[in-house]
Amino acid sequence: MSNQSKQSFTRKWRWLAGAAAGLAAALVLAACGGDDVGGEREGDVEVAEGGRPTGEITISQWPGYIDPGSNGTVAEFEQRFGVNVNYIEDVNDNVQFFGKLQPQLDQGQSGGRSLFVVTDWMAKQMYDLGYLQEFSHEDLQTVFDNILPQFEESDSDPERKFSIPWQGGLTGIWVNTNQAPEIRAVEDLFDPKYKGKVTMLAEMRDTMPLVMQSQGIDVENATTDDWLNTIDLLREAADSGQIRRFTGNEYTEDLTSGNVVAAIGWSGDASLIGREGIEWRRPTDGCDTFFDQMVIPVGAPNTAAALAFMNFAYRPEVQADIATYVNYVTPVEGVQEILLQRDPELGRNELIFPPPELTEGCTADPNPPGSAEDQQEVTEEYQDLITG
Amino acid sequence: MAWLRRNGLRIYAGFAVLYMLVPIIVIAVFSFGETPRDRLNFSLGGGFTLEYWENAFAIEELNDALRTSLELAALSTVASTAIGTLMALALVRYQFVGRRASNLLIVLPMATPEIVIGASLLSMFIIYTIALGFTTLLIAHIMFSISFVVVVVRSRLIGFDRSLEEAARDLGATPFQTFRYVTLPLILPGVIAAALLAFALSIDDFVISNFNSGTTVTFPLYVFGVALRGIPVQVNVLATMLFVVTVAAILLVIWQQRRAERMAAVAPEPEPQPQVA
Amino acid sequence: MTIGRRFIPYWLLLPGAVWLILFFVVPMYFMGELALRSGTFETGFTFDWQFSNFPDSLEGNEEQIIRSFWYAGVATILALLIAYPLAYAIALQSGRWKLLLLFAVIAPFFTTYLIRTIAWKTILADSSPVVDILQALALIPDDGRVLATSGAVIAGLTYNFLPFMILPIYASIERLDLRLVEAAKDLYASSRQAFLRVTLPMTAPGIVAGVLLTFIPAYGDYVNAAILGGTNQAMIGNRIQSLYLFQRDYPEAAALSFLMMALILVVVLVYIRAAGTEAFMGEDEER
């Protein structure tokens, strides 16, 4: 070999050797940990300990879901119990929050959180995966004394051992009554007249039941094919530009700036209530309810304080403060009477205290049917749809 | 016409800078708007008010978030600029085994989507049970800034006039002295540009921070949280303040410089500087 | 003395290399391992050399891969066209205002990425004066809109990555030896020729750095598409995010991420080849 090529040959070898050494080192490092990913957490379900609340507590919550400020519920709680509350509003979407927290929950950690609020179907999923602690009813006297009878048990948590309702509401249509007063049904959203001026929720369990009902499908008994066909229908609408986008909470922006005339959205949306020309409507061809739940995760540092907070939130006066600000459905008894005294109009607000006719026949954030694989297929197809 | 030809570029620059400032102007304008429930959805229609400016620091979480972000960015900038500059020097000035590999190592983080960096870092922190928080954020921020610093400083180092350094060495300076008194001042603009970039990257980062922050809330994370339900107007106020403060600081620096020049004009004439642009 | 000198580059390199290996390479290894697993989230992912994840992950995502390339490419070109004259003007024509202009260009980026993009969303809203003007100028149809279109996403990308383009070009122009330009002019070159044959090639490293620093993150971005785009503007970043956070299909997400990185690397290497290795690697001719 000539000198030149011998040099470059050695150089190449050295390079390879260096890379191999580096890889080997990385492998060794990485070998010291991590086997299974995903799946159920092993171990028994922990039961949250009660006791006198002290110290500090971190609560993760949806934005705008509590009355804020120095007179707000959190401040009151801090004063009453001498507990320091770190209240973070970092739950913007059930699935995103789950995705962010999952690796830690899998290892039995909660990232410092003692309490957080997610929608009931997500709470059940988390529980099934072993990410939540249970609690005993004895530690939650105030809760179970004051909870409205219809919330004492639920499909996702029949014995109420891992989730306590926070607030709930209905999924329906927010309409710009100045520009599109005729929109009253989910079917209207597919009218070409409103092409590009309509948004739907990215949350599958909100949008799908509504659209299926508008197609005349019985959601409780729907098959996987029903779900998939509906997704195809939505995909057509999305590709053609009929549906402008699939949103999280930010549909409010598009509505107020006039980008859209109608959006599938949640009934108590604080930023839209009271605005001129924008109104929430229960669709004539279907409806859906949801209820968010307080849960205690595994690895929660201060369960006593978390339980105390739950009890505190179920005091009617406290709940009345929350309901005044948040305008969602409250699960606590006695709140309506208090509100009727304070502000009669609020006390009669159908969105906070829905009469039975409003919620009759509504679905409740259903899961897709069938086996785990079927569910996975539907979820994937839907995700495919909304990510464009 | 000739005036246009001479100043055409300057006029263009003026418009370009204006374009870059458009969102900040919008943000500033909306900080004066009256909004229902103090939560801004960037909609017009309210009146003019100074209310939010008077209560700029009313939201505790926002203040904490901003403070955290500034601390994080400062630390991250110092560390990554130092580390990155050293790396750039090594890569441009020396031939050594493993140089190609090092180049590759620098490029890879930039070629990786932020979400992948964020998620993979998170998995590693979990597996080694490192508590998430400010420290993990700092680690992540330094990591993704290093590559950018190297690239920027490197483009400044390439073609750098070595004769000055040689001259210094001929006059008896040690390598360290040469570096400190000749090289460093001359590459300083590049280093400063890199530091600026690192600072902006850190303050701005959302995706990677979202994965690795635990319960620590940075400014972007806070904004994301509230953006979906209505941004409090104070966010606009603080953002505008931040911008104004930065510009004011620079004006101060420039004013100081001019003062120094004027003082120097009175002092005896210094040695003539070499004519390098 | 000579032995110590030989190790100088390694000492300089050490802190950075250690940091990057610990906090970039090792996590990547974990991600690679994840890409070879199979299963679902509920049943757990087990490692079984599932190489099929790689081609599988491409399925259904080709449109987004191409679209990202298109968006990032256009945005990069636009950014280059906007940034170069601006950097030139700041470096060479702004005199005492240089520092101020530089900061004016960078300072908006100290407000959050999200808030800037949301501000653009307001500016480009269907009912805004800007859109009205564009309609009057017949640049968009009368019932057209800017938001939720490719144009909006590209505009967002261009704007948000502009400083990545400006800074390296500025640094490169700033240390340009003007005497060479003067010399060219003395040799009867016109301004245009002097620019094309002296200035431009000599600032090539800055351009290369700027292009790479802009294209690569733009390619993997998802925030712009999420805020300014609609149902048909999703980029590959949006897909990966969805796989990680929504579908929780970690193996596919990891595989897709690797493929994406590989694609970018290929593009980068091709570009560097074309632009000339000296411009990027800085092979010092003197040594």
CB atoms within 10 A of CB B2: 6
The answer to whether the beta carbons of residues A48 and A135 sit under 8 Å apart is yes
State which residues form the domain around B89: 8-240
B83 within some domain: yes
Q: Do C177 and B89 touch (CB under 8 A)?
A: no
For residue C81, give how far its alpha carbon lies from the nearest alpha carbon of chain A (Å). 30
The predicted pLDDT at position C70 comes to 93
Q: Do B111 and C216 touch (CB under 8 A)?
A: yes
Q: How many angstroms separate the CA atoms of A258 and A263, rounded?
A: 11
- Domain CATH code at residue B159: 1.10.3720.10
For residue A263, give how far its alpha carbon lies from the nearest alpha carbon of chain C (Å). 14
- Read off the pLDDT of residues C200-228 as tens digits, 9 standing for 90 and up: 888 888 898 889 888 988 988 888 888 88
B172 within some domain: yes
Q: How many angstroms separate the CA atoms of A370 and A378, rounded?
A: 10
Q: Best of B112, B197, B254 to disrupt the C interface by mutation (most C CBs within 10 Å)?
A: B112
Please identify among residues 116-175 of chain C the ones whose CB lies closer than 8 Å to any CB of chain B. Answer: 116, 118-123, 159, 162-164, 167-168, 170-172, 174-175
CA distances from A48 to A51, A137, B220 (A): 10, 11, 34
- Residue C111 is nearest to which of B190, B197, B239, comparing CB atoms? B239
Q: How many angstroms separate the CA atoms of B157 and C225, rounded?
A: 36
Which chains, if any, share at least 3 CB pairs under 8 A with chain B?
A: A, C
- Tell how far CA B57 is from the center of its chain: 24
Q: How many angstroms separate the CA atoms of A365 and A212, rounded?
A: 12
Indicate the Cα dihedral angle A343, A345, A347, A352, nearest 10°: -120
In this structure, which topology does domain A56-162+296-314 adopt according to CATH? D-Maltodextrin-Binding Protein; domain 2 (3.40.190)
C260 within some domain: no
Q: Do C86 and B114 touch (CB under 8 A)?
A: no
What is the 3 state secondary structure string of chain C?
A: CHHHHHCHHHHHHHHHHHHHHHHHHHHHHHHHHHHCEEEECCCEEEECCCCCHHHHHHCCCHHHHHHHHHHHHHHHHHHHHHHHHHHHHHHHHCHHHHHHHHHHHHHHHHCCHHHHHHHHHHHCCCCCHHHHHHHHCCCCCCCCCCCCCHHHHHHHHHHHHHHHHHHHHHHHHHCCCHHHHHHHHHCCCCHHHHHHHHHHHHCHHHHHHHHHHHHHHHHHCCHHHHHHCCCCCCCHHHHHHHHHHHCCCHHHHHHHHHHHHHHHHHHHHHHHHHHCHHHHHCCCCCC
Average pLDDT estimate for B244-271 = 71
What tokens does A43 get? 């171990």
- Read off the pLDDT of residues A225-277 as tens digits, 9 standing for 90 and up: 889 999 999 999 988 888 988 887 778 778 877 888 999 988 877 667 667 88
B255 within some domain: no
For residue C142, give how far its alpha carbon lies from the nearest alpha carbon of chain B (Å). 23
The answer to whether the beta carbons of residues B209 and B144 sit under 8 Å apart is no
C194 within some domain: yes
B276 within some domain: no
The answer to whether the beta carbons of residues A115 and A309 sit under 8 Å apart is yes
Q: Which residues pair with C47 in a beta bridge?
A: C37
Which among A387, A364, A384, A381 has a CA at the least distance from the CA of A150?
A: A364
- Residue C114 is nearest to which of B147, B223, B253, comparing CB atoms? B223
B111 touches chain C (CB under 8 A): yes
Residue A368 region by backbone torsions, left for phi larger than 0, else alpha for psi between -120 and 50, else beta: beta
- Residue C168 is nearest to which of B110, B152, B162, comparing CB atoms? B152
Query: Rounded to the nearest 5 degrees, what angle is found at the Cα of C152, between the Cα atoms of C147 and C157?
Result: 145
The answer to whether the beta carbons of residues C284 and B90 sit under 8 Å apart is no
SS3 state at B159: coil
Which chains, if any, share at least 3 CB pairs under 8 A with chain A?
A: B, C
Please determine, for residue C274, whether its predicted confidence score (pLDDT) is greater than 50: yes
What tokens does C180 get? 């060479």
Supply the ipTM of this predicted assembly. 0.78
The larger pLDDT score, comparing residue B267 to residue B216, is at B216
Q: Which residues contact C181 (CB under 8 A, 6 or more apart)?
A: C194, C198, C199
Q: Render each residue's pLDDT in chain A as its tens digit; 388 residues.
A: 455 555 555 656 655 655 566 555 555 555 544 455 555 666 667 777 777 878 888 999 887 788 877 788 888 898 888 888 988 877 877 887 887 788 788 878 888 899 999 998 899 989 988 899 998 888 888 888 888 888 888 878 888 889 999 998 888 899 988 888 888 888 888 988 888 889 998 888 889 999 999 988 888 888 888 899 999 999 999 888 889 888 877 787 788 778 889 999 888 776 676 678 888 888 888 888 889 999 999 988 888 889 989 999 999 989 888 888 888 888 888 888 888 888 888 888 877 888 887 777 788 778 888 887 788 888 888 888 888 6
The predicted pLDDT at position C174 comes to 82
Please report, in angstroms and rounded to a whole number, the separation of the first and last CA atoms in chain C.
19
Which among C198, C47, C228 has a CA at the least distance from the CA of C123?
A: C228
Residue C49 region by backbone torsions, left for phi larger than 0, else alpha for psi between -120 and 50, else beta: left
Which among A361, A305, A291 has a CA at the least distance from the CA of A122?
A: A291
- Residue C242 is nearest to which of A238, A253, A387, comparing CB atoms? A387
Give the count of domains, chain C.
1
Q: What is the enclosing helix (H) or strand (E) of A116?
A: strand A115-119
B10 touches chain C (CB under 8 A): yes
- Out of B34-38, C107-111, C261-265, which region has the weakest mean confidence (pLDDT)? B34-38
What is the 3 state secondary structure string of C223-243?
A: HHHHHHCCCCCCCHHHHHHHH
B67 within some domain: yes
Please identify among residues 93-112 of chain C the ones whose CB lies closer than 8 Å to any CB of chain B. Answer: 93-94, 96, 99-101, 103-112
Q: What is the enclosing helix (H) or strand (E) of A382?
A: helix A372-386
- Domain CATH code at residue C242: 1.10.3720.10
The predicted pLDDT at position C38 comes to 76
CB atoms within 10 A of CB C166: 27
Q: Do A196 and C148 touch (CB under 8 A)?
A: yes
State which residues form the domain around C174: 63-248
Instruction: Assign B138 a pLDDT band (cuts: 50, 70, 90).
Output: very high
Q: What φ, ψ does residue B183 adopt, rounded to 5°? A: -65, -55
To which CATH superfamily is domain A169-289+364-386 assigned? Periplasmic binding protein-like II (3.40.190.10)
The answer to whether the beta carbons of residues C238 and A202 sit under 8 Å apart is no
Q: Do C40 and A373 touch (CB under 8 A)?
A: yes
Q: Which residues pair with A278 in a beta bridge?
A: A176
The answer to whether the beta carbons of residues A370 and A380 sit under 8 Å apart is no
What is the 3 state secondary structure string of C156-181?
A: HHHHHHHHHHHHHHHHHHHCCCHHHH
The predicted pLDDT at position A22 comes to 58
Q: Do A386 and C231 touch (CB under 8 A)?
A: yes
C279 within some domain: no
Chain A residue at shortest CA distance from C239 = A387
CA torsion sign for A100, A245, C234, C147 is negative
CA distances from A387 to A64, A231, C234 (A): 26, 13, 6
Domain boundaries, chain A: 56-162+296-314, 169-289+364-386
Q: Best of A85, A89, A113, A174 to disrupt the B interface by mutation (most B CBs within 10 Å)?
A: A89
The predicted pLDDT at position C285 comes to 33
Please report, in angstroms and rounded to a whole number, the separation of the first and last CA atoms in chain B.
29
Q: Is the pTM of this model over 0.80?
A: no
The answer to whether the beta carbons of residues B41 and C114 sit under 8 Å apart is no
The predicted pLDDT at position C75 comes to 95
| Residues on chain A touching B96 (C-beta within 8 angstroms) | none
The answer to whether the beta carbons of residues A157 and A120 sit under 8 Å apart is yes
Strand A115-119 with A288-295, pairing: antiparallel
Q: How many angstroms separate the CA atoms of B239 and B244, rounded?
A: 9
The predicted pLDDT at position C270 comes to 86
- Residue B143 is nearest to which of C20, C244, C268, comparing CB atoms? C20
Residue B261, classified by CB atoms within 10 Å of its CB into exposed (0-12), middle (13-18) or buried (19+), is: exposed
Give the count of domains, chain B.
1
Residue reference for tokens 């009617």: A316
For residue C214, give how far its alpha carbon lies from the nearest alpha carbon of chain A (Å). 24
- AA identity, residue C273: R
The larger pLDDT score, comparing residue C125 to residue B16, is at B16
Q: Which residues pair with A363 in a beta bridge?
A: A288
